[in-house]
Amino acid sequence: MNVATLVGRVLAELGVETVFGVVGSGNFHVTNALVANGARYVAARHEGGAATMADAYARMSGKVGVVSVHQGPGLTNAMTGLAEAAKSRTPLIVLAGEATQARSNFYIDQDAMARAVGAVPLRVGSAATAVEDAVGAFRTARAGATVLLNLPLDVQNKVAGEGEVWSEAWRLVVESARLASSVTVEGPAPGADAVRLARLLEGARRPVFVAGRGARHAGDELRALADRAGALLATSAVAKGLFRGSPWDLDVSGGFSSPLAAELIAGADVLVGWGCALNMWTTRHGRLIGQHTRLVQVDLDPAAIGAHRPVELGVVGDTAWVARAVEAALEGPPVQGYRTSELAGRIAAQVRWRDVPYEEEAGEGRIDPRTLTIALDDLLPPARVVATDSGNFMGYPAMFLDVPDERGFCFTQAFQSVGLGLASAIGAAVALPDRLPVAALGDGGALMGIAELETVVRLGLPMVIVVYDDEAYGAEVHHFGPSGHRLDTVTFPPADLARIARGYGCAAVTVTQRADLDAVASWLAGPRDRPLLVHAKVGGGGGSWWLEEAFRGH
Ligand SMILES: Cc1ncc(C[n+]2csc(CCOP(=O)(O)OP(=O)(O)O)c2C)c(N)n1
Ligand SMILES: [Mg+2]
């Protein structure tokens, strides 16, 4: 056995079940070894897609994601997806061949590439350390890092593991790291600060909890604590769906908040961010934090506390642990807090965006994106996972498509890159095969990431791909247009996206009015053996305020 094969075998042994990638000579053996040892290989058509698929898969499955790429260009192609993963602290391993001769065409400084985007560069150093190196990479990833595991070409081919491979020593290394591939959260036990938070909540009359990425695993604990403290519940966009089903769920806090949700969050007297950065998105640049709101942040990472906004109290610890500790420290019976019966009625009637009246704006041959999305929300089954791309359009799916829980929304937007939406939906679909995957894309993002349409078809994913086509980089049009700038660099002639999709093997429908969506109902009623691309020619809706929020942060 050579080193590359041994590394693949170790990773499979550690519980890696799925690997995404584009295979070349430098990652051929490691990928084949993963497959030979039981992993599923998902071939992407571009490494950018592969990296994002692995990222989305990790987010939606709770397991370590693995992507396998060729040395040099295989890695550079993957970089945008890796930057997104690293910024989101997705537990991810990039297996990359590595050219070690500086005169090789494939040579680049791969460690520097990884560092530049916040990933951790590691290396299989020798045949003797291959097992240790692979286990170390897995552990580092599982603790919440995006890891580049370089596989130097001159080490890959060395003989490894012969004779000693199933020895007791090897077994022990693997056994010690085997906790399936699930991501585990480790951190200090909550202490006196948790008690301080309990006291603060006892004195609160209008508490609000905002849960972020670091609380996606703590939904039950936070609901229980909120019930005791009379708190309303909201999330950042990456945790959308976490409190679905609760009558006190305000959905997303930030640019996507409905007017009622924004009013209630801003009206909090104590606001607790749970595993949530409280950044410009979640707080609308601070406008959702009331002048007299007492701000608390709970986070596993001490450096996250107060990083975006000063807080009165910071509690370091895993959000589920802290929530349990705070609940245990609360004295007295459950209190009403913010939860009046009058408010329950208002929330039930008005908190969803679709219950907020709007003027239909679309003109001839165009559908209003709000009308489109509300109609799709009615048509698509509730067991769904929605992934969105970036752009002016993206608030429509985020605000008007409901999701059943925190695994119903895959929001790969930490790097704000256009073009990751389709690959995100593929990774989510592979992680959650029992749900209908929905990709919501702009025309720009759809055409940027279109190579993976072949992947959707090849995998037979029953995906609905909605393209909000305004024949433009609408974000730029809406931002710069009003000041009279020329817009021919950001506008495009019509493209027949439905026909392009049919060419890839999808079913497709062009939508210019509500009645055209009957084709979606027919597709849903059929065998769903081919993905459906909904080419929606959208108009109206205007420039989005969530995007203005983004431009303010540039
Ligand atoms: C990779 C990348 N390139 C460029 C941008 C700048 N940008 C932000 S939104 C946008 C327009 C995207 O167009 P489209 O997908 O059609 O969505 P729309 O804004 O029209 O709704 C662009 C080019 C970016 N964020 N990421
Ligand atoms: Mg567009």
Burial letters 491-505, b for 16+ CB under 10 A, else e: eeeeeebbebbeebe
Of 412, 418, 491, the residue with max ligand 1 atoms within 8 A of its CB, to mutate for a pocket test, comes to 418
466: phi then psi, degrees, rounded to nearest 5: -105, 120
pLDDT tier for residue 163 given thresholds of 50, 70 and 90: low
User: No. of H helices and E strands in the chain?
Assistant: 23, 18
- Indicate if the pLDDT at residue 448 is higher than 70: yes
SS3 367: strand
Q: Are 26 and 106 in contact (CB under 8 A)?
A: yes
- Indicate if the pLDDT at residue 425 is higher than 60: yes
Helices (H), 330-420: 341-350, 369-379, 395-400
pLDDT tier for residue 352 given thresholds of 50, 70 and 90: very high
Q: Is the CB of 252 under 6 A from ligand 1?
A: no
Q: Write out pLDDT tens, residues 532-542.
A: 999 999 997 67
- Indicate if the pLDDT at residue 179 is higher than 70: no
Alpha-carbon distance of 253 to 255, in angstroms, equals: 7
Q: Are 18 and 430 in contact (CB under 8 A)?
A: yes
Q: Are 413 and 87 in contact (CB under 8 A)?
A: no
Q: Residue 190 gets which letter from DSSP?
A: P
Output the pLDDT for position 186.
53
Alpha-carbon distance of 44 to 63, in angstroms, equals: 19
The residue to which tokens 């979640």 are assigned: 282
- Indicate if the pLDDT at residue 92 is higher than 70: yes
Return the residue whose CA atom lies nearest to atom 16 of ligand 1: 444
- Indicate if the pLDDT at residue 313 is higher than 60: yes
Burial grade of 460 (CB within 10 A; 0-12, 13-18, 19 or more):
exposed
Q: Are 294 and 312 in contact (CB under 8 A)?
A: yes
Helix (H) or strand (E) holding 223: helix 219-229
Residue range 400-412: average pLDDT?
98
Q: Are 464 and 534 in contact (CB under 8 A)?
A: yes
Q: Is the CB of 443 under 6 A from ligand 1?
A: yes
Q: Is the CB of 439 under 6 A from ligand 1?
A: no
Residue range 130-146: average pLDDT?
95
Alpha-carbon distance of 418 to 431, in angstroms, equals: 22
Instruction: Show the beta-strand stretches assigned E in 248-375.
Output: 249-252, 270-274, 294-299, 313-316
Output the pLDDT for position 268.
98
Q: Is the CB of 474 under 6 A from ligand 1?
A: yes
Of 473, 480, 554, the residue with max ligand 1 atoms within 8 A of its CB, to mutate for a pocket test, comes to 473
Q: Is the CB of 421 under 6 A from ligand 1?
A: no
Residue range 278-297: average pLDDT?
95
Which among 252, 224, 219 is positioned nearest to 238, based on CA atoms?
A: 252
Return the residue whose CA atom lies nearest to atom 4 of ligand 1: 418
Alpha-carbon distance of 254 to 276, in angstroms, equals: 12
User: Can you spell out the DSSP letters for 475-503?
Assistant: HHHHHHGGGT---TTSB-----HHHHHHH
Residue range 454-480: average pLDDT?
97
Sheet containing 409-410: order of strands: 409-410, 384-388, 436-442, 464-469, 532-537, 507-511
Q: Is the CB of 52 under 6 A from ligand 1?
A: no
Ligand 1: distance of its center to the CA of 448 in Å? Answer: 10
Output the pLDDT for position 183.
53
Residue range 279-297: average pLDDT?
95
Output the pLDDT for position 191.
82
- Indicate if the pLDDT at residue 249 is higher than 90: yes
- Compute the mean pLDDT over every residue in the chain, rounded to the nearest whole number: 94
Q: Are 250 and 206 in contact (CB under 8 A)?
A: no
SS3 299: strand
40 vs 160, residue with greater confidence: 40
SS3 397: helix
Residue range 454-481: average pLDDT?
96
Output the pLDDT for position 5.
97
Residue range 46-53: average pLDDT?
98
Output the pLDDT for position 164.
57
Output the pLDDT for position 362.
77
Q: Is the CB of 144 under 6 A from ligand 1?
A: no
Burial grade of 202 (CB within 10 A; 0-12, 13-18, 19 or more):
middle
Residue range 94-121: average pLDDT?
97
Ligand 1: distance of its center to the CA of 441 in Å? Answer: 10
Of ligand 1's listed atoms, the one at least distance from the Cα of 470 is: 20
Alpha-carbon distance of 157 to 332, in angstroms, equals: 66
Q: Is the CB of 472 under 6 A from ligand 1?
A: yes
- Indicate if the pLDDT at residue 554 is higher than 70: no
